[in-house]
Amino acid sequence: MARAEDGRIVFVEGALAGETVTVELIRVDKRWSRARVVTVLEPSPERVPVPCTHQMEGCGGCDLLHVADDAQLRMKSSMVIDQLVRAEVDAPDPALRSLDDDQGRTTVRAAVIDGRAGYRIRGSHDIVVPEVCDAVDPMAEQLLVDGRFGDATEVTIRVGSRTGERLVMVEGGTFGVEVPDDVLLVGTDELAKGKRAWIHEEAGGRRWRISARSFFQNRPAGVDALVDEVAEMVAELGPDGPMVDAYSGVGIFAGTVGAERVVHAIERGKDSIADARVNLDGLDAKIITSSVERWRSTPAGVVIADPAREGLGKEGVAALLRAEPDLFVLVSCDPSAFAKDARRLLDGGMTLDRMTVVDLFPGTSHVETIGAFTR
């Protein structure tokens, strides 16, 4: 952020704290403006050369490549702290965690132009078609760069980095799509008629079935980190007894942290539920097909919640607190939503005991935060 001579706040895309830059205004409001960097006159010591030519062309996929790796995680931590201060949440200093054995993203959603996959340019509907992409797993990169996707408008590439399995899902039909023979190809029109398609991945010490439209974290190294952090919080702060896995998806936390417990896994996505029934088979887990807000609460010593970007919200927090947990672990992919939900949990009688900022999306400004709330 900068401040103009007239007092207006200016949000400058691509600038770092302490830098002197020239900018181009791209939006002007009464009290604030948005701008993008044109020239860096006095760079920050944390600025590094951008290694990706496509990002220089405007690709919107990786917006922090100009920041040194160690500085990225500190920057993300400061984003979380700033939002907590704004929400008047008294929080401990966060632990910082990067990923181990990371090979890049294993799920890629891309637009298609003239049969080729590409990324949207920042603030535009135009598309950059990459010749290389170091942000994704090599098995996904091959399909992104070399695949031909017919008349589709969008494509989702999903690979099992540790199993070697690959899947391509295109919007509409599969006519004209050209991918290697090992790739499971499916169109959304086939899925709408009841066809099932999935791959497998290994993460968090287990093997998972993941359907074409199920949610799964963007890389197995990220699952490893999240499971490790949540498991440590539960082991150190959580009581024995039943556990709730809210927004359980394909069953990641129920199948790892809750493997030795009675678990109520709450999920409403049909594809994720089908996967969870396979992934949690043999465990003492009850899959509840419901939104969290409509869940009929049952007592649980531990609640783990991993909601979508918008967070739990007032009704979600209220529903889960009715379980009267002694430990509430919140996993969030948006600092603002995390802070708002943290405020609601504090108002509900919980205390933020510890938190970890995980660099789940290296090279981007996306932030993953895990908070442990106790009574």
Report the half-sphere exposure of 229 (CA within 13 A, side-chain side): 28
Contact yes or no for 136/112 (Cβ under 8 A): no
Distance CA 36, CA 48 (A): 17
Angle at 323 between CA 319 and CA 324, to 5 degrees: 115
Q: Across-strand partners of 177?
A: 149
| pLDDT tens figures, 99-124 | 999 999 999 999 999 999 999 998 78
Q: CB neighbours of 71 closer than 8 A, spacing ≥ 6?
A: 46
The pLDDT assigned to 125 comes to 87
Distance CA 229, CA 91 (A): 17
Averaged over successive runs of 10 residues, the pLDDT of the chain (375 residues) comes to 89 92 92 93 96 89 92 95 97 96 97 96 89 97 98 97 98 97 98 97 98 97 98 98 98 98 97 98 98 96 98 98 98 98 98 97 96 97
Q: Across-strand partners of 356?
A: 95, 370
The pLDDT assigned to 212 comes to 98
List the domains of the chain with CATH numbers: 2-47 (2.40.50.140), 69-100+219-374 (3.40.50.150), 107-211 (2.40.50.1070)
The pLDDT assigned to 346 comes to 98
Task: Report the run of H or E that residue 97 belongs to, with start and end.
Answer: strand 95-97
| pLDDT tens figures, 131-190 | 999 999 999 999 999 999 999 999 999 999 999 999 999 999 999 999 999 999 999 999
Where does residue 176 fall: left (phi above 0), alpha (psi -120 to 50 degrees), or beta otherwise? left
Q: CB neighbours of 326 closer than 8 A, spacing ≥ 6?
A: 238, 239, 301, 302, 374, 375
Place of tokens 């895990």: 370
Q: Across-strand partners of 345?
A: none
Q: What is the DSSP letter of 239?
A: P
Distance CA 30, CA 4 (A): 12
Distance CA 312, CA 217 (A): 18
**Which residue, among 326, 309, 308, 324, has the nearest Cα to 372 in the 3D structure?**
326
Tell me the residue type at 14: G
Place of tokens 């009581």: 239
Burial-class residue 182 by CB neighbours within 10 Å (0-12, 13-18, 19+). Answer: exposed
Distance CA 164, CA 179 (A): 15
Average pLDDT, the chain: 96
Contact yes or no for 320/305 (Cβ under 8 A): yes
Tell me the residue type at 354: R
The pLDDT assigned to 43 comes to 96
